Structure formats: structure tokens, C-alpha cells
Amino acid sequence: MKKASFLIEDLWPCFQGMVPAALSTCASDGTPNITFISQVYYVDATHVAISFQFFNKTHRNVRENPLACAVVLDPRTLHAYRFHLRYDHSEATGPLFESMSLQLQAVASYSGMTEVFRLQAADVYEVLGVERLEGFTRLPIPPPSERSSRLFIDPNVVSLRLIAERLNQAQMLDEALQGALQMLDDFFGFHHAMILLADERNAKLQTIASHGYSDNGVGSEVGIGEGLIGMVARAQRTLYLSAMDHSLRYARAVRGRAEALGQTEAIEREIPLPGLPDAASQIAVPLVTRGRLVGVLAVESKDPLAFLPRENTLLSIIGLHLATTIDLLSRDQDEIPTDRVGQAPPSPESRTMSTRRFSFFQKDDCIFVDGNYLIRNVPAKILWRLLTQYRDEGRVEFTNRELRMDAWLGLPEYKDNLETRLILLRRRLEQKCPDVRLVQRGRGRFALEADATIELCEKEC
């Protein structure tokens, strides 16, 4: 028999579970086994999956000897196809498992056997080869149909769906922001990205989360209208620079030179925007919901052609979900009452700990730690409030509500962005003072954890 090679996508009717298939395996002692299976599932161009529910001998055999062979029928003509397979792995969670499980449950629910038909795992097989059984039927091979394109979902669309689902389920703003950046890396290979939030009062954007940079750059600012990111914020339109000319690198080089020459006075209270020194392309997507700018998502790459219309579209869709999520989670983080506020910290004297010296400059509401700039403005005042209460009253647990009621912090009554300020503070501490941490303790509650002895000093200027 002549072995033909097929694109398994073209055999899409065979994967609809309309006609049972057969699967043969072989134990390590050489005993063959064969079983009917209700459906062979398409996974991708080189893999199929088979549901593991009942046929335990098959399940055991492929773990001893991964080779397998399946014969499937095309329900349109009953042409038969033989798949040579190698068991690859088993999935008991994740999108493939979920979709196979739901399909089984839907069938089982008709017969009241949802427990009996429970999917144990999706066994994924690599397709080593496919052949049509020649001399099997007199019927002609049906012409290729357009329908397959509706059955096999573009992997980008699957990724978009997963991102939308996870953003939709996020409970905390911080989790949503870091999760979104991680997913951009995992699903689309965007290794270097950041999210900036709009500060409408000051006509600025402030970096709140980043991924793929040695310095997280959280707290760095960009004026609305400045540079690519600022322009995107103003125009509320996605822009991308491919094969970026040297101007951006030039600006970054100037900064590097100034730092090298010790001319740091002008820049010492500025956090640099995260950036790749050798970025070749950049895209910035406005995060807008109901016409209001929430922030900007910016992604960089060393590949000059990394951002083309496809990436523009994908990131714009993600940006829409992200904007809605940010908008929702940053105004809805009210605390749950707690009875654990005000616990005493572990006695610092009982352990040998380093000392961290925090200095608060009243003139510009700015905090330095051990002589290095940490943070300023409202997040700095929040930190100062927490540190003084930690020192004077031994408090370690705090609530968003008490901060909102603290007049000294000067939070506005409406849209106070407290949650984003706390994230900013948390990230800056992670970067500059990792032995003092703000740890989330649920919605609207957090704790101050310190592995160092804390010294505080207030300065007028």
C-alpha cells in the first residue's frame, strides 16, 4: 500500500466524534490490545488527543510502550485513515482538558451519567504518520471543504480568550497587571513590556508594572504627549515604531553618560523608564474605557519588525480588556473588616538584623532609603505613615480604609487611586529595599513585614 501524507487539518470530519475510531496499542510483553474510542480530538498540526475515561489497558500500555495506531472513518464517505501515533503526555487540567471534558459532560448530561462519563485525562499523542486505507470504498474522496477553518481555531484567538478569561477573573489589581504582562510573554513572546497608569491631575503617566527588565522602573513617569507613550496617551490611538531609529537609543545613551560622569543631581529623583538599551521596535497601546484614558501598555523588542498590524490588533484587543479590568479593580478594592489590625511586630532585638535608614524630606514629600531615592508624593506619605506607626505603636497590619480617612495623606475623595499607589509603593520597595515589604492580606488589607531594623529621620529640606 502506498503511504500518503496528509495534513491532519484536512481530515477534520474524522475528529467530530460522529463515528467511533479504533486504537491499538501493545504491552511491553508484546501482547496487542485494541479498543474502540468515541472520538479522536484534534490538538494541532502534529498532535491528537484521546480521552482517558475507561480503557485502562490502553492507558497502561502507552506508558510502557508509547507507540499506538488508530483507524478513523470520515463520516461523509466512510473512507478510513490510519494514524501512526506516539503517546506524548497526559493533561488533567488546562484548555484542552477543559474543552474535552465539557464536551463529554454535555453528552453525559443527556443520559444522567455525568459522574460515569467523567474525563480522567486528555492523552496527547504525536502523529508520526497518516495513511488512507486504499481499496476500502468505491466512493470518491470528498473535495476539501471550507468548513475546517471554522473548526480549528487560530492559536492567537485561543490565547486572547485565555487572557480575557484570566483578566475577567482577577480579584486584585496587582495580580491582573503582573498576570497580563506574564501572559503577553508566555502566549505571544513579548518579553519586555510595561503598563503605565494615567495620572489625570498631573497630566502624567506612571509605570505601575513591568516585565522583562532588570530594573522594574515602577514609579517612573512620562508626561502626556511626551515620546511614543505620551503621544499614544494623548491621541488614544495605538502607535508603533518599527526598525526604530537611533533617536531613542541616543536619549538613553545621554542619560547613561550623565550617570557615568556623576552628573546625577538632575536625575537622581527621577526613576528611569524601563527600556532595552538595544530596542529596535516599540509599540504603545492606549488603555481606554468608555472614552477615558486609564493608561498605556508599552511593549519593546530587539527585533525591528516585531510589531506589525497583526501584533497591533492582538495588543489592542488585550488593551481593551486590560483597561476595563484596571478601571474596575482600582476603584473597587474596599476592605473587609478585620479584627487583626494592630498586632505587635516580632521583637527586632531578638534577631541579628541589618538596619535600614529611611529619610523623609518634608519639602517635596520624598523618601530616601540609606541615601538612595525611593519614592515621593502620596505613596511616600503613605509609607511614612506606616513606618511611624510601626515604630511608635508596633503595628504591622493596615487597611485601605484607614488610609482613606487619614487627612494628612491628602487623598482625594473621589478616584483616589489608592490601590495603584500601594502597588507602586510595593514594587519600589521590592526594587530598592527588599527587606521591608508590603504584603497583601486580602482585599483592602495588607501587612508591613520587615527583616531589618528600621530607623526613621525627618528632614525639612
Chain residues in the site for another protein (CB under 8 A): 1, 19-20, 22-26, 28, 30-36, 38, 54-57, 65, 67-71, 77-78, 80, 82, 84, 116, 133-139
Concatenating the DSSP letter of every residue in 250-308 gives HHHHHHHHHHHTT--TTTTTSPPPP--TT--EEEEEEEEETTEEEEEEEEEESSTTS--
For another protein, give the closer residue by CB, 133 or 308. Answer: 133
Residue 62 near residue 70, CB atoms below 8 Å: no
Q: Minimum CB separation from another protein for residue 16, in Å?
A: 14
Tell me, what DSSP letter sits at residue 413?
S
Using alpha carbons only, give the angle 296, 302, 307 rounded to the nearest 5 degrees: 55
For another protein, give the closer residue by CB, 26 or 328. Answer: 26
For another protein, give the closer residue by CB, 59 or 426. Answer: 59
Sequence length of the chain is: 461
Cα-Cα-Cα-Cα dihedral sign, residues 153, 156, 160, 163: positive
- Tell me whether strands 355-361 and 453-459 are parallel, antiparallel or unpaired: parallel
Q: Minimum CB separation from another protein for residue 42, in Å?
A: 19
For another protein, give the closer residue by CB, 28 or 171. Answer: 28
Name the residue type at position 432.
K
Q: Which of 241, 176, 232, 183 lies closest to 205 in space, CA to CA? A: 232
For another protein, give the closer residue by CB, 99 or 120. Answer: 120
Q: Minimum CB separation from another protein for residue 110, in Å?
A: 15
Q: Minimum CB separation from another protein for residue 167, in Å?
A: 39
Cα 272 to its chain centre, rounded Å, is 24
Residue corresponding to grid cell 482600582: 330
For another protein, give the closer residue by CB, 20 or 412. Answer: 20
Q: Minimum CB separation from another protein for residue 125, in Å?
A: 12
Q: Minimum CB separation from another protein for residue 9, in Å?
A: 22
Phi, psi of 67 (to 5 degrees): -75, 145
Q: Minimum CB separation from another protein for residue 193, in Å?
A: 46
For another protein, give the closer residue by CB, 27 or 341. Answer: 27
Strand partners, 407: none
Residue 187 vs residues 76, 280, 315, 406: alpha-carbon distances, Å: 36, 21, 12, 42
Q: Which helix (H) or strand (E) holds 388?
A: helix 377-393
Q: Minimum CB separation from another protein for residue 61, in Å?
A: 9
For another protein, give the closer residue by CB, 19 or 353. Answer: 19
